[in-house]
Structures are given as C-alpha cells and as structure tokens.
Structure 1
Amino acid sequence: MAHILGVENVSIDLGSRPILGNINVSIEDGAKIGIVGPNGGGKSTLLKLLTRALEPDTGQVTMTSGTRFSVLSQAISFAPDVTVIQAIHGNAAEYEWASDSAIRYLHEGLLPDVPLDKKVTELSGGQRRRVALAATLAADANVIVLDEPTNHLDIEGVTFLAKYLNERFGRGEGALIVVTHDRWFLDAVCDRLWEVVPGNDGAGGRNPQPGHVETYEGGYAAYILQRAERSRIAQQAVEKRNNLLRKELAWLRRGAPARTSKPKFRIDAANELIANEPPPRDSIELAKMATTRLGKDVIDLIGVSFAYDAQDQTPVLDDVTVRLAPGERLGIVGGNGAGKSSLLGLISGALEPTAGRIRRGKTVKLAVLTQETKELDEIAHRRVVEAVHDIATHVMVGKKEMTAAQLVEKLGFTRERAWTQVGDLSGGERRRLQLLRLLVGEPNVLLLDEPTNDLDTDTLAAIEDVLDSWPGTLVVVSHDRYLLERITDHQIAVLDGHVRDLPGGVDEYLRLAAELRVQHDKGGDAGSQAAQPIKTKDAAKERLARKNMARIERKMDKVSQLIERIGLQQADAAASGDFEALVDLGKEAALAQEELDLLEEEWMVAAEEVEIY
C-alpha cells in the first residue's frame, strides 16, 4: 500500500503541561483508523497534529505530495444564507455533481428528508450535522477525518455511513480517520484502532508525563481482545479494570462470529481470561429480585394513541400496546422523529394518551435519564461526591452494598475529579453524574433516553457493568446499536406511528424500515406484500401475538425438560447420600421454577393479546 502520512517522535505541550509525547504512527492507502480514548485525553490534539492544524514542539509530520484533507469537526458553522446544496457543493453547476452516481448515493443515504434548496440555518440540529457530514464526504480529498460522525444519526443513518465508508475505502485508495464512541461502528468499519492514553500531571505537579498512542489491529472486538491479552502479560492493570475487560470480552466472544473475524493475531491467551467467565448478567436472578421489589405489575400501555394536537388525524403513535414485566430489559429503536421520545414520555407519565389506557403498578418507583443535564445547574456549586451523597449515602448494586464514593469511583471519577465542583465538569462527566444520582435513588424502573451522549468507550463499559447487576425494569432509547445489543434482552421498533416487536433485533428493524420506505415511495401501495406487516392491522397483530405465544411455549418446554432432568439428578443424589449435590440441585430447581413461572405469566399476557385482536 502507498504511504500517505507519517508521524515521527512527535511531542506537543500546552503551556508547561505535556499533552502528547513520542508519537510514532503512519497511514497508508486503504487504512480505516478508529481513534478511541477518554474524553479530554488528547484525541482532538492528535487530529490537529495529523491534519497540520497544530505544529508539534518536537518531531515531524510528513505526508506525500497531493495529500488533501477533508475534516468534520464537532463544532460546525455555516454562513447565514447558504443553502444545503451550496454548503455541500459550493457554486458547482448541478450537472457536475448530479451526474456522479456516488454523490447521488450520498444524498440518498444522508439527506432523504432534507430539501436541497433550503437554507441550512432553517434546518434542525441533526439535519445540519448530516449536511456537514455530506459536505465533508463530497469534498475533493483523499484523507477523510471525522470527529464523532454518528452524532445525531439514527441507526439507519449509522448503518448507511458504515456501508458507504467501507465501499469507498475498500478499494485501497485514500484513508479514513475517525474519532467515535460508537463501538458497533468501530467494529463495522475500522481495520485498526489507535488508543490515546492520557498522561498524568505527576505527584504534586512534579515530573508530569505526556500521553501516548497505543496501536491495535482490527476493530473494537479485536481491540478488547488485545487489551485483555496485554493486560494479562504485563500484569500492570488493576484488577477492577481487568474484571470489566473480561466481562465485555466474554460478551463479545459469545456474540456473532463476525465480531471477532478481523483480528490477525493469536487470541488463545486472551481466551484463557474468559474460560470461566459467566454471562454478563443472570437474567433469571435479576427477574426474581425485580419481582420482589416491583410485584408482578409494572407499566402497561394498552391500545394507546398519542397526538400533540387532540384533533390531529395522524397521531404520533397509534394503537400501541406495550407491557413491561419485572426485570425486563427493553430497547426502543426508530428513526429521528419517529415517536420514540413520545413513547418514553407515555411510559414515564410525562405525557398523557389521547386514546387507550395506561396501567401502572402500585410499587413502581421510576427514574428517567433525559437527553439534557439542565437539572445539574441547580447544584453547580456542589462537588461530585456531595451531589451523589445528597441523594443517598449507600446503594445496593445487585446483592452488593456500595457507598456513594465507591459508586462514583466505579463510574470513572478519579479521586481528584470526585471532589470537582459540578459546574466545572465536562459534558461526559455531567452525563455520568446524572446517571449516578438516578441510581443511588434506587428506582425499580429506569428509562434511559440516548444515554451514550458524550461518553467514551471505557465509561460506557463501566456503566454497562453497573446496569448488569441492577435489579429493575430497564427501558432504553438509543441509536447506539452496540449498547442496545449489550444491555437489553429484546427490542421493539417505532415505525410509521406503530410499534413492532423485533425478534430478529436491529437487523430486523433495518429490513422493516427499508420495506416501509419502499412502500411510501410507491405511494402507500397496498400491493407491497413485504411491507404490509408494518401496517399493524388487527390480523397482523394477532399473528404477532400468536407467534409470541409459540416462542414462549418453546421456552416453557425447554425449562420443563430441565426441571425434569434436575428431578432425576436429585433422586440419584438422594439415593447415593450426596447431600451437598442435593442442595445445589435444589437451588437450580428453584431458579428453573422461577423462570417457568415468569414464562407462564408472559404467556398469559400474550394469550390476552390474541383475544384482544
């Protein structure tokens, strides 16, 4: 591959503080590089060095002649009167870009709902971000640099962007550099990762150490594998960090084979770390604990419709039925403006339905993580530990009691940052504190609206670790596919004002959304057989309910067979006088019976829905 850019022994300081030191990396044609690391650790500084927006204090950055950069920054701005088409293509004549199939493909994928002759300043924040992304990708450049490109993109947009970048840079021409916390995107697109490891200020400000860059082959799954192996070999990482890496690695290795197909290195040693690692969470035990705290009734939306204007003939949500069970972990997906936040508002009680009814359990104690952190402005003068301690001094995380200070540390606040005033926190730190304050209030129903905003990958892993042992009903709205697959057990989609169950997960949602677009493009032609289930007529809902009943019945059969096998093993243990085995088998039988009871309740709900439809 042809060499594009080289960084040799580069260091840079900010005043008297070293930021990065001894950086040695290179970029070749066809490279797709993901950059990860904690917020404030030096990722943006590294990007500026690569693009020569900053000059290093020592070392050099070299590049081949003809190298042209196109950069998407997090802060975007447009001239007041510029139109969408001008923002993307400047003053080029329409035939110049419209005749290019790659440009038309880019428009269709990123701007399907954006009028090209409209002023950019009249667009929503998400639309402006997509215009900036399209302008960056359409520019005449061979090195594309993207800083958090998935912000404001829904799952369909992220999927399109991944496909576009793989096709564009899969030919071995040009290079991609991307900073993102979207772990699914990193796995789907990148063939190597650079981790920016921040330095330290030294003891008492003496002998400060600069940050550095560690390189890894493959995407995010490969990165986790290599981090785990390096940690094992070096034995320098603290045990707490190792536990998080092993848990996430175990989840990744249990998932789809594609997740670990990219690594080009020996992973046997890394696999030894997770040989006896249990699943991330014990769903049966959590459901049992949740039932104890919640009872059997949580929140049911039955035939609910919602419109902001009661006279609106096309409501945001129409005839929606959603039933939340104790310990359920539900993910909600859908395009921007589809009605996800409205559904969350109905569940939380912030919105009232215009039709249908909502039934709430008497013991429900609900908490909502909103997309904004304005409530923290009122405690800007308090320190982080104090802001958490104000809610509660201790909290139960699963079966373990933790102090407020321990939980603060578990979610990534160093001892120094834990005593920082709330008003001085970064956006990511404010997000973490917002979640911490909710968790110490010990709700039994937790609603998370886009919880990954402003968080780096290690912080996300720490939050997932805490939620793994949180015994309550969890509902998550997110465009972060990795997070949804990691912390929820099943997903539903908001499509065209209706709610669809997704037995096939996010992949099924993408298929249904594509079918719906085709149907709309045909003017709602009812002849499109593939798209008809999306209309969710009564007959369709009945079929779904019956399908759900069949799925539950299969699970019940398996659990019943397990109970029978345990019964036979108990008889053998009793006959042989192995009382220790008998006790263990009794615990297994009790857990299996708990699961069967929950499945029977779920089956009754499904049967009730069949009768309704």
Structure 2
Amino acid sequence: MSAVVVSLETVSAAHGTRVLLDGVSLGLGTGERIGVVGRNGAGKSTLLRILSGEAQPDSGRVVHAGGTRIGALSQTDALPAGTVRSAVVGDVADHVWAADPRQRAVLTGLGLLDRLDEGTATMSGGERRRVALARLLVQELDLLILDEPTNHLDVEGVAWLARHLASRRCALLVATHDRWFLDEVCDRVWEVVDGRVDAYEGGYSAYVLARAERARRADATEARRQNLLRKELAWLRRGPPARTSKPRFRIDAANALIADEPPARDSLALRTFAAARLGKDVFDVEDATLSVGGRELLHDVTWRLGPGDRIGLVGVNGAGKTSLLRLLTGALRPDSGQVRQGASARVATLSQEVAELPGELRALEAVEQVARVLTLERGRERTAGQMLEQFGLPSGRQWTRVRDLSGGERRRLQLLRLLMERPNVLLLDEPTNDLDTDTLTALEDLLDSWPGTLVVVSHDRYFLERTCDVVMALLGDRRITMLPGGVEEYLARRAAAEASAGSPGQPPSSAGAGGGSATGRSTATDRSAGNGSGAATGAGTGPGASTPAAPAMTSGELRAARKELSRLERALEKLERQESELHTALAEAATDHRRILALNTELQAVTAQKDSTEEQWLTLASRVEGS
C-alpha cells in the first residue's frame, strides 16, 4: 500500500452559516493524482487549504506524514517584490540553478527563461500566474496542491503544464474546471458536494460515467441533471479515440448507457434556422489591417462569418484574440479595409470583466432587468428564476445582492444576462473563467440548441471542442488560419514553429508573441463546405501538421484484429473479477497486516495488467474503427 502523505479525520468546516465540510475523513497517498471538482462555493478551496495546512478546520484532525514537503498554489498569486529571478530561484547563482534540468525545464516551459530580470509588479495576471507556478514547480516536493492552476494560461501553457505534472512522481491534488486537464493529469476525482467528498476512479470522463450510473441505479429525481450527464458522456464517447484512452471504465458499459442518446446538436438544422433569423451575412471582414499599441496584429485579412457558424479562436496570450472580437463589434477600427455587420445581427459580447453588473440589485432582479422569460427551442419557456437555478444559483442565493456574490457566481450572472437578451450572434471571451464543471455542462447544453453564430475565445480545449465546429488560430503571422485538426493541430504547428526558430518548448507569452513578420492574406470564403463559413482557406491552412493516421488494415488484418479484440475483452473481464475479489479480500483482512501487504502486492500486479490490457484494447479498437 502507498504511504499516506496527508489525511483528514472527521474534519468539519463552515463559512458563515454554510457548512462546507461535514465530518470528512479521507487520505492522500504517495504518487496519487487527484482532481477536485464541485460547484463554486462548495468548499474546494477550503479543502485544499486545510490539506496544505494553510487553514485549520473547525473540528477534526489533519495529519501530515513526518518530513512531507508540501507546495501549494492558491488562486491569488502573491509574489514577493522584485524580479522574476528573485521570485523563482532566489539568490542562487545562475550557474547553480542552470545546472538543474528541472529548473531549466520549468523556466523554459513557462516562457520565463528570457524574462528573469523583469519586475513582477508590472506583470499582467497571466504573467504573474506563470511566475507563481514556476516558483512552486522548481522545488522538489512530496505533495503539490494546485488551486485553478490553468487560470490565465493559454492553450500551450495548459498543455505544457499537463505534460510536466504527468512526468513528476510526487502526489498531486488539483482543483480545476478544465476538464481536458483533469483527464490528462488525474487518475482519481474527488467531488465536494453537500459537505461531503465523494471519490471516483479515473479522470473527468470516468467521473461523468460514474455519476450517470449512480443516478440511474438510484432512480434519481433530478432528471434534468441526469440528461445533461448522459448527453456529455455521449459526446465524450463519440469524440476522437485519444479522448477515451485514459478513463478506466468499460467501453461496453458506456455504450449501453448512451445507446439511445442522440448527438449533442443537429448542426445542419441549427444552421438552417440561423440563416432564417440572420440572413446570408453576419460579419464580413475585407482586406483589414489592425494595429494595437503600435503592433500590427492583422495584415490584409479577409474573413467572412455566416449564419450558424460556431468558431473557436485560439492563440498565445497577446496574439490579438480579444482585439479581433472588438474589431467585429466596432469597438476597434481597422487601419485599412472594412468590417461590415449584417443588418439582422443582434450581437452580444461576454467580456473578461464583470464590473458592468449592477452591484446594488439582487441576483434575480439583475436577470429580470433584462428579461423575465427566455424562450428556448420548440417554444419551451424558462423563467429568470429557473435559469438562475440551472446556472447554479439556487433560490436561497437569488435574493443575494450582486456585490455580495462570489466571483464565479457573478460570472454566471453576467453570462445569463447576456443570454436573456436573445442575441443571434454571441462573442464569448474566455467564458469558462470562474465556472465550475456543472455550470459549464449546463452552458454547453444551452448552446447546443442555440441557433446563431458563435465565436469563442478560450484556453479550455474541452469547451472549444464541445461547442464549436471549427477551430481557427492567430499563429503570430498576422493571419487568421483554419485548423482542420483543431487544437491538436494548433499545438503541433506551434511546436514546429518553435523548433524551427531554435527555442523548443517555450510558449511566447511575452509581449510581442502575437506579432509576426510574415505578410499575406488570410481569406474565409468556403461557405459551401459545410464546416462553417468562418473556415479559412489559402496558404498555411492545411492539416499538414496533424498527426498522420495509421494505415488502413487489410481484410485479413481486420479479421485478426477483431479476434484479438475479443480475446482482450475476455481477459479484461477475468482481470476485473480478480480485482473485485482482491478488494473483497482486503476488506476482510483489515486486521491482518501481513495478509494486507500480500493482497495489496497481488492487487497492484492485477491492476497494472488490467491497465496494460485496456490500453491494448483501446489502441486496437481505434485502428479497427478507422478501417
């Protein structure tokens, strides 16, 4: 058995009159990698602070193993005054820290190696986040506790952090709303709900399945939530094979659960409906050049967005994504060229700020100020109160003044007010910031039936893949490039560009990262392709950087592969029975220390063999499906 690094014994904690943890007992062992999820305000940060020793529980006991080295990252990046160098490596001489491959890798991976002499006081939120992460990750630790580590990181930064954490051997506890990150990094999930902590095996995808199965077995009355979980699970299983390669659940069980579940959305029907509401044109950007702060972000760009397009926009911090949205709305004027908006377009923009909310109003009043009823597809109507409930503000919180709501609650309120305006064009700038996974699922469900044009700027690749049909990128060459391979192609292109520039692994998040020296025109005229009229064509838009697919199997190879799949399935069933029997035996031998050690050794061997067999099954199944 792995040694326990930290444990809680009947721990309780409250905030005001609200109980966050109620008699919670749990433990975290060496090498365990646990993701923490739950509604905003459920107590995730409180749990992390108690486990790290930064906060004391109201009752119960926290036990740390002797000599345990713990590092914690909070949501507020409190950095000492001075330079990046002093914050991350302190007074250590350059030749000392530079000789440590871990410290070099962290500074390079977070884009800080050439910024060591910059002051931290004038840095942006995203830059300070990178410094705070680097300050923590250069240390040799037994337990890493991270509270929303992906906040303010771009897609590349999140991908690098996932790879780095996967390579470390220390125990990991991470609270995040980034569901792709949870699947990449964690092998267990803790859900903080109603004062307790429920444990689930596997990453986020496995957690979704387990919740759906629990709801089905219990015949839960929350039919709405169950439908959302089934819908999300259906999308997960219909996605790329790579997305399902990590969760430790049986594929046949998942398929049985979603057998009758329709696709998440009917893109063709939505596009047809959107055309009826919006006409042929939404936005036409023609030969536009845009400069901000003396730096040219776009050069001679032509981009057309049509009714029903669902575009995800990615790029490094500072590439100009937010500026592009402001160009579409008219908040920024192009240096040359023009931007035309369709006559029927009703545009609503979700900014990264929440300052525009009326702080003196109560939450329900703030929504009803916009509209009292929202009409959904097929004439269904939802009141403002019902929508607030769906977005995680129960009736008891709906009469709280806006200024007294948490950051996540204000973000949900801002988004809901936007949707209640009944726009037919939505521009969302980092919509997932401060939203918990349940609220994100509710938002995705709402967007599934929303007939309009959608442009999403986000570092949350799960949300982008879930809600958008096309991914486009600002790659630093002052163009808008369509990526048929989605976020994976974007990361591959960025890695190739960095390798050719001689600086592998360094996400250029510093000022100037979004600019480039290449000129040329980026167009988006492929309205008949069915992939969204925002799809860019022309130089640099092909899928050449995508990972090449495995060659198709011959008929003989296909027969042999299917036979091997059947054998692997039988082996998995046998291993699962052995695993279940060993768990039962461990429970029965609770007082026999030697027996427990022997059984645990056997269980680890069976689990390792099961994981290996499952990986073989998944790899072979993806090849069979592709043939």
Tell me which interval the TM-score lies in, with the shorter structure as reference length: 0.7 to 0.9
Counterpart residue number, 2:180: 184
Aligned position for 1:580: none
Does 1:142 find its partner at 2:142?
Answer: yes
Residue 167 of structure 1 is matched in structure 2 by: 167
> Within 5 A, what are the aligned runs for 1:162-561?
162-169=162-169, 174-198=170-194, 211-266=195-250, 268-308=252-292, 312=294, 314-376=295-357, 379-399=358-378, 400-496=380-476, 497-521=478-502
User: Counterpart of 1:282 in structure 2: which amino acid?
Assistant: D
3-state SS, counterpart of residue 492 of structure 2:
helix
Match of 2:67?
66
How far residue 363 of structure 1 moved from its aligned partner, in angstroms, is 0.9
Cα deviation, residue 384, structure 1 = 1.9
SS in 1 for 2:228: helix
Q: 5+ unaligned residues in a row in structure 1: which ranges?
A: 199-210, 523-533, 556-597
Specify every segment of 5 or more residues in structure 2 that has no aligned partner in the other structure, as ranges.
Answer: 504-515, 542-627
Native 8 Å contact 1:228 1:270 kept in 2? no
Give the total of aligned pairs: 525
How far did residue 219 of structure 1 move?
0.7
How far, CA to CA, are the matches of 2:66 and 2:371 in structure 1? 60
- TM-aligned CA deviation for residue 57 of structure 1: 4.4
- 1:507 deviates by 0.7
Which residue identity lines up with residue 176 of structure 1 in the other structure?
Answer: L
Instruction: Determine if contact 1:444/1:473 at 8 Å carries over to the other structure.
Output: yes
Q: Quick one: which amino acid aligns to residue 183 of structure 2?
A: D
Question: In 2, Cα distance between the equivalents of 1:475 and 1:58?
Answer: 48
2:327 partner amino acid: L
Q: Deviations over 1:94-134 (max 9, x none)?
A: 22211011211111110347510222213222111111100
Distance in 2 between residues matched to 1:303 and 1:83, nearest whole Å: 42
Conservation of the 8 A alpha-carbon contact between 1:365 and 1:443: yes
Q: Secondary structure at the match of 2:292?
A: coil
Retained in 2: the 8 A contact 1:114–1:127? no
* 1:398, distance to aligned residue in structure 2 (A): 2.4
Contact 1:229 1:269 in 2 (8 A): no
Deviates more, 1:67-76 or 1:417-426: 417-426
Distance 2:450 2:517 in 1: 36
Residues 125/241 of structure 1: CA separation in 2 closer, same or farther (3 Å cut): same
- TM-superposed CA distance for 1:401, in Å, is 2.8
Distance verdict in 2 for CA 1:297–1:13, change over 3 Å: closer
Give the structure, 1 or 2, with the largest relative contact order (CA under 8 Å, sep 6 or more): 2
Aligned to 1:558: none
What is the Cα deviation at residue 9 of structure 1? 2.8
> Would the aligned equivalents of 2:278 and 2:344 in 1 still touch at CA under 8 Å?
yes
Task: Kindly provide the amino acid, as one letter, of the partner of residue 38 in structure 1.
Answer: R
- Show the 5 A alignment for 1:47-86: 47-80=48-81, 82-86=82-86
Cα pair 2:107 2:113 within 8 Å, conserved: no
Residue aligning to 1:119: 119
- Residues 587-598 of structure 1: pairs in structure 2 closer than 5 A: none
1:122 aligned counterpart, secondary structure:
coil
Whole-Å separation in 1 of the counterparts to 2:440 and 2:180: 13
> What residue identity is the alignment partner of 1:11?
S
Code of the aligned partner of 2:297: V
From the superposition, tell whether residues 415 and 114 of structure 1 become closer, same or farther in structure 2 (CA, over 3 Å). farther
Amino acid at match of 2:401: Q
SS at match of 1:374: coil
Per-residue Cα deviation, 1:251-293 (whole angstroms, up to 9, x for no partner): 1111122333333345655543321111111111111111111
Aligned-partner residue type, residue 64 of structure 1:
A
Amino acid of the residue matched to residue 213 of structure 2?
Answer: E
> Following the alignment from structure 1 to structure 2, what is the Cα–Cα distance between the partners of residues 256 and 275?
18
Which has more helix, going by share of residues?
Answer: 1
CA change 1:367–1:18 in 2 (3 A) is closer
Amino acid aligned to 1:383 = R
**Secondary structure of 2:340's partner?**
strand
> C-alpha separation between the residues in 2 aligned to 1:8 and 1:511?
46
Residues 286 and 16 of structure 1: CA distance in aligned 2, closer, same or farther (over 3 Å): closer
Amino acid of the residue matched to residue 192 of structure 2? V
Q: Contact 1:306/1:317 (CA < 8 Å) preserved in 2?
A: yes
Deviation larger for 464-473 or 2-11: 2-11
Structure 2 CA distance for aligned equivalents of residues 265 and 336 of structure 1: 36
Distance 1:405 1:85 in 2: 50
The one-letter code of the counterpart of 1:386 is E
One-letter amino acid of the structure 1 residue matched with residue 50 of structure 2: L
Which one-letter code corresponds to 2:245 in the other structure?
Answer: S
Question: Corresponding residue for 1:566?
Answer: none
Q: Give the equivalent residue in structure 2 for 1:584.
A: none
**CA displacement at 1:4 relative to structure 2:** 2.1
Counterpart of 1:239, as a letter, is A
Is contact 1:412-1:462 (8 Å) kept? Answer: no
- Contact 2:301/2:522 (<8 A) preserved: no
**TM-score, normalised with respect to structure 2:** 0.79
User: For residues 255 and 316 of structure 1, what CA distance do their matches in structure 2 show?
Assistant: 33
Which amino acid is the alignment partner of residue 142 of structure 2? N
Q: Deviations over 1:47-68 (max 9, x none)?
A: 1221223334444332322211
Please report the RMSD computed on the Cα atoms of aligned residues, expressed in angstroms: 2.6
Q: Contact 1:226 / 1:270 at 8 angstroms: preserved in 2?
A: no
Q: d(CA) in 1 for partners of 2:469 and 2:439?
A: 21
Match of 1:568 in 2: none
Deviation at 1:423, TM superposition (A): 1.9
Per the alignment, in what secondary structure is the counterpart of residue 331 of structure 1? strand
Query: Which letter does structure 1 place at the counterpart of 2:305?
Result: L
The amino acid of 1:141's aligned partner reads L
109 and 233 in structure 1: CA distance in 2 versus 1, 3 angstrom threshold = same
- 2:88 — aligned with what? 88
In structure 2, C-alpha distance between the alignment counterparts of 1:602 and 1:50, rounded to whole Å: 47
* Counterpart Cα distance in 1 of 2:341 and 2:155: 30
Asked if the contact 1:162–1:189 (Cα under 8 Å) also holds between the matched residues in 2, the reply is yes
What is the distance in 1 between the residues matched to 2:80 and 2:156?
29
1:31 corresponding residue in structure 2:
32
Q: Which residue of 1 is the match for residue 555 of structure 2?
A: none
CA distance 1:306–1:263, shift in 2 (3 Å): closer
- The Cα offsets for residues 326-362 of structure 1, whole Å up to 9 and x where unpaired, read as 0110010000000111111111111111112222211
Kindly state the Cα deviation for residue 521 of structure 1 after the two structures are TM-superposed. 4.1
Please state how far the C-alpha of 1:602 moved relative to its aligned partner: 8.9
